[in-house]
Chain A
Amino acid sequence: AQKITQTQPGMFVQEKEAVTLDCTYDTSDQSYGLFWYKQPSSGEMIFLIYQGSYDEQNATEGRYSLNFQKARKSANLVISASQLGDSAMYFCAMREGVSLIQGAQKLVFGQGTRLTINP
């Protein structure tokens, strides 16, 4: 069963507009982490923002914020004042469990959303 669902294969947005990228997830764990990564055409996966399942406040990092709705199991990425450099592939990912013991845990990615910012 797919654990991370990104329903928007592609999005086109005008420069300076805000954009919301959708992500829903499925887990039976109480403790988990949600991540957003940006992948430009160069290939590097750039970490954007993290939300823990026990975090009461929505995460924010500069122009990026995460709209976390736990009951609906959604973790949408909001980019404010979009820029041409924001054009890239965006992946939502989830890590289940708590990583406080030796032995790293798996990160599961959604299929991604290709965002294009138009001038």
Chain B
Amino acid sequence: DTEVTQTPKHLVMGMTNKKSLKCEQHMGHRAMYWYKQKAKKPPELMFVYSYEKLSINESVPSRFSPECPNSSLLNLHLHALQPEDSALYLCASSQDETRENIQYFGAGTRLSVL
């Protein structure tokens, strides 16, 4: 089973709203990732958590706030977003202890900021 579950699938929010994206995996993976993907572009890494600690932050604006409450769950808190933040947000997880370290992705959350 290589399932990564993301909720919600779609989200529309205003620039003054606060919302959260959720990602869950039960594969025992210890690394979890957030990517942002604009239309017709490849995914771009935002954050990486390894063993529940923030490992990589790709200079993401502070209006995006990640959280890893436990090894199975990853959240992305959104506040005061801009219309240009509208994108597909993908979560991924990997074993991080294998030679391959394959990242498995969820189906994403399509975010529209009005």
Contacts and interface: CB of A to CB of B under 8 A. Distances in A.
Contacts, number: 71
B99 A100 contact: yes
Interface of A: 33, 35, 37, 42-47, 50, 52, 91, 95, 98-100, 102-107, 109-112
Contact of A104 (B56, B107, B110): B56
Interface of B: 2, 31, 33, 41-43, 45, 48-51, 55-56, 88, 90, 92, 94, 96-108, 110
Contact of A45 (B56, B101, B105, B110): B105
Contacts of B88: 43
B42 A110 contact: yes
Nearest to A9: B40
Contacts of B105: 37, 44-47
Contacts of A47: 2, 102-105
B107 to A, nearest CB: 4
B102 A109 contact: no
A105 B48 CA distance: 8
Contacts of A46: 105
A91 B42 contact: yes
Nearest to B110: A43
A102 B92 contact: no
A39 to B, nearest CB: 9
Task: Pick the most buried of B48, B49, B99, B107: most chain A CB atoms within 10 A of its CB.
Answer: B99
A74 B51 CA distance: 33
A69 B97 CA distance: 26
Nearest to A42: B107
B45 A107 contact: yes
Contacts of A95: 101
B51 A102 contact: yes
17 contacts: A33-B101, A43-B107, A43-B110, A44-B105, A47-B2, A99-B96, A100-B99, A102-B96, A103-B50, A103-B55, A103-B96, A104-B33, A104-B48, A104-B55, A104-B56, A106-B56, A112-B42
A102 B31 CA distance: 9
Contacts of A112: 42
